């Protein structure tokens, strides 16, 4: 299997993530889209590590590190979303603009 296939998959994931982030109005769905983007990056790290520097492990380590960070970030994000939901009874991103003023 060549590197291109992996890259195509990760590209699709990235684009899907961006599309989802821009188009979905539900904050949870947006969060999932962000996860997609991050995962696409993770895949790239792992793939390039494997094909370019097979004797080294930095890419894999970085992927694992990123997964850990993403988990923490998701936890915080979900906590914020829950709190927002409690306050405004909505997850629609366009309606959450009270903090602006």
Q: Which parts of this chain interact with another protein (CB under 8 A)?
A: 18, 21-22, 30, 93-94, 97, 99-100
Q: Count the neighbouring beta carbons within 10 Å of the beta carbon of residue 33.
A: 19
- Please, what is the minimum distance in Å from the beta carbon of residue 60 to another protein? 28
- Please, what is the minimum distance in Å from the beta carbon of residue 40 to another protein? 15
Toward another protein, which CB reaches closer, 29 or 46? 29
Toward another protein, which CB reaches closer, 10 or 63? 10
- Please, what is the minimum distance in Å from the beta carbon of residue 90 to another protein? 14
Residues 6+ apart with CB under 8 A from 28: 78, 81, 91
Q: Rounded distance, CA 39 to CA 63, Å?
A: 9
Toward another protein, which CB reaches closer, 17 or 59? 17
* Cβ-contact 10, 42 below 8 angstroms: no
């Amino acid at each position: 299997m060549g590197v291109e296939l992996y890259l195509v998959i990760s590209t699709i994931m990235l684009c899907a993530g961006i599309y989802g982030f821009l188009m979905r109005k539900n904050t949870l769905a947006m969060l999932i889209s962000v996860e997609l983007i991050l995962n696409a990056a993770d895949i790239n790290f792992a793939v390039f590590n494997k094909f370019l520097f097979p004797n080294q492990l930095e890419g894999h380590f970085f992927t694992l590190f990123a997964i850990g960070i993403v988990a923490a970030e998701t936890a915080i994000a979900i906590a914020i979303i829950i709190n927002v939901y409690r306050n405004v009874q909505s997850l629609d991103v366009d309606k959450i603009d009270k903090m602006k003023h």
